[in-house]
Structure 1
Amino acid sequence: MAEHPAYPVGLRLTGRRVVVLGGGQVAGRRLPALIAAGADILLVSPRATPSVEAMADAGEITWERRPYAEGDLADAWYALIATSDPEANTQASAEAEANRVWCVRSDNADAATAWTPATGHSEGVTVAVLTSRAEGRDPRHTAAIRDAVVEGLRDGTLVAPHHRTRTPGVALVGGGPGDPDLITVRGRRLLAEADVVIADRLGPRDLLAELPPHVEVIDAAKIPYGRFMAQEAINNALIEHAKQGKSVVRLKGGDPYVFGRGMEELQALAEAGIPCTVVPGISSSISVPGAAGIPVTHRGVAHEFTVVSGHVAPDDERSLVDWASLAGLTGTLVILMGVDKIGRIAETLVAHGKPADTPVALVQEGTTAAQRRVDATLATVAETVRTQDVKPPAVIVIGEVVTVGVATPASGLPKTPQ
C-alpha cells in the first residue's frame, strides 16, 4: 500500500456508527469533528480527559468505561484507534481489517487503512490536506499548508471565483478602527468577493488598494447628494447597485452599529427587499484606547465604561446624552466624534461634579501609522486640543484608567506631555 498514494474522500457519517478507542488527547482533538459530522459515536476507554468526559456528560457521545474487547467494531463504519496499549491497537486494527471498517491508527499510520487529513474550514468549504504517501509523512508541513490555504480564503488573499450565480445583496461590514489587519476574516473575504464597495472615510483604506481592477469603489463622502440628505443618498446607492444584481459591500469604520448608522441602512434595504448581511467590526471605542496602552476597565480602578457620541454639544437641543448622570459615574467615559466639542463637554462634566483634574487622553488616528496620544485633564483639555492641534478622528478617554496604562508597541508615538 505504501507504493500508492492515498485516495482522498469525504465520509458522510450522519447517523452512522463510529467507534473511538482511547479517551486521551488524540480523541479529544478528533471527536469534535466527528460530532459535528453527526456520527453515532461509541467511545471505549477506561479513562478520558476532562474535555472528552464533558462530551459524554453532554450526551454527544456514548462512553463505555472499559478496555477494548473483540467485537467492539461490529457494525462500525469508521474507527479511530488511539489507546496507549500497542497490543490492543494491533488487535483492534486486525478486527477492523477483517470487518472492512476504515480504520485510523494514531500510533502506526503505516498499519492503518485510513489517514486523517489536516482540515480547516472557511464559509462552507472544507480544506483537507493529505500527505500523498506514508513514507516521509510530515504532519507539521501538512498542517502548515492547510493553515496557509484557509487563511488565504478567509482574508481574501486567495480568491476562488464563484462559477454559480451568486445571490445579489449587500453586506454591511465593520472595517475596524483603521489598521487593515483588524478587520474580521469574514469581512475581508466578503470585501474580496465584492463587485461594488461603498466605503467610509474612516474605513481601512489600505484594503481598497488590494481589490481587483473590476471592483467599483465608491467614496461615500463624495456621492452626489442632489436634493437628498447624505444618508439617503448612500441608501439609494446601495439599493441601486444591489438591484443591478451586484454583490455590494458597505465598508464602514469600526462597527456598523456603533454610531455607524448601520440600522438605518439595513432598514432601507429591507424596505426595498434587498437581502443584507451584517458583519460586526472591532469598535474604536475599545480598540483605540487599547492600542494606546489604555485599558477601558482595570481591577480596582474602573468596573464599567460608557461610550458616548460627542457629535453634538451638551447644550444642543438634539443631544440625547444625560451628561449630568455621566458626571457622577466612577468608571471610564469614552467619547467618539467629540474633538471639536470636548471643551464644552469638559465644562459640563465639571459643572455637574466631575473633578477638574480627572485625566483625559486623546488618541488620534488610532491603530494607524499616524497614531498619536495626547494627555490632559478636564480642566486643560480644551486648550491642549488647540495647542497640540488634535484633529478628528480621535477617541477621547476620560477617567483614572488613563494613568494606569503602559507604553505598548502598538501605541505608536510616546505620549505628548500635558
Structure 2
Amino acid sequence: MADTYAVPERQEDFASEVDLASRWLGGSVLAASDESFGEKENLLVPTPAAFVPGNYGHRGEIVDGWETKRRREPGHDWVLVRLGAAGTITAVDVDTSFFTGNFPATCRIEACGVEGYPSPRELQDAEVEWIEIVPRSALKGDGHNRFDVSDGRRFTHVRLSAFPDGGIARLRVFGRVVIDPRTIDGITIDLASQDHGGQVVTSSDGFYTSASMLNRPDKARNMGDGWETRRRRDGGPDHALFRLAMRGTIRKIEIDTAHFKYNASAEVALFGANTETMPAADAPEWRPLLARTRLQPDTRHVFEAADAFPCSFVRLDAFPDGGISRVRLWGEVVPSERKAAGYRWFNALPSKQALAVLAEAGAADEAARRIANARPMSPDAGIIADPTLAKLAKMLEGSNGEFS
C-alpha cells in the first residue's frame, strides 16, 4: 500500500441485507383495504416508530403506523407495497411497536414479480402470480416479528395481509438487490449505490450515525443522514469498506460532506481491491484510487480516480475521523460482470414475469415456455439458440457493452 498509517480494527459490521421496501430506495405503499386510524404510508417511514400517548385527533388517538378499524364482518385487511429496489427477499420484519391491545392476531406475506408499473387494481388481477413467502403466522404485540424467507426468486411487490384487523407500525423487507440489466446503459453507473446492489460491509466506527448511509441513492437531508464517528485523539483514520454492486472500473469519485459544517472529515484516501472476498482493511491487495486529499465542509467534491483497474471492493479512509454524507463511485461494469448480472436477473424472475420478458423479446409461446423452464441458465453456456431471441441474448450477455 502507498500509505503506512495503521488502519483501525473493524468495529461496525452490517448484515448483507438491505431494506428493499425502504423509502430511501423509493419504496411505496400503493393501496390498503382500510386506514381508518393510521395511514398506510407510515409502514415505510425509515425511522423507528414513535408514539405519544394521549394525543388525539378527529379519528381517535394518533398512531405512528398503519391501523385499520375493527372488523364487524368476515375478511381481513391487506396492504400493497412496491419495493424500491427489486430483489431476492431473505426476511421480513412486521413491527408492531406500541400496538399492545390492537395488533393483528396473525399475518401472511406474499410477493410477486411483474413488468412495468402496474396499478393496485392490476396487481390484484387473478392473472398476477402472487407467491406466499411467509405463511399465516402469529404476531406478538409491541415488538419485532421477523420471518425468514427462503424463496430465491426476484420480486417487485409484496402484499401483507393482517388477520382480522389491527395496527402495524413498520414493515421492513430485507434482501439483496438483483438489478435489472435493462436499467444499465452500459456506460457509467454508481458502482457503490444501494440502488444497484452495492453495500457498506463494515466501518471502523459508527458512534453517532452509521456508515451504512453513505451509499444511499438520494441526497442527505441533514447531518443525521450521513456517517459520523466519534472524535479521534490519535490522528486516525476511520474507514469504511464497500462491496461494489458489480466488479467495475472506477473513473470518478464523489465525496459529499453536505450538512457537515464543523465536523466534516478533513481528508480522505481511497483504495480498491479486485478480489472475490473482502480483504482485511490492512491487506496488501488494496491499490490506490485516490491519494490523501483535502475536503471542504458542506461540499460536494468530485475527483478523478488515480488509476483505472477493475475493483470489487473499495476502502475509504477518513482523516482524522468521519463526517461524510454520501459516497459515489462512478465507473463502468466489466463485460464479464454485465453478462453474469444479466443471467442472474433472468434466472431469478418468477415464471410469469420470465414469460412476459421472453414475449417482449419476440419469442413465440412454445419457445418462451421452453426457455423459461430451462432455467437456471449459465453465462458460460449462453442462452438457448433461437433466431427470434437476438434481442434477449444481447440484453443478457451485454453485446457491444450494451444491454439494449
TM-score by length of 2: 0.24
Richer in strand (by share)? 2
- Structure with greater contact order relative to length (CA < 8 Å, sep ≥ 6): 2
Richer in helix (by share)? 1
Choose 1 or 2 for highest CA Rg.
1
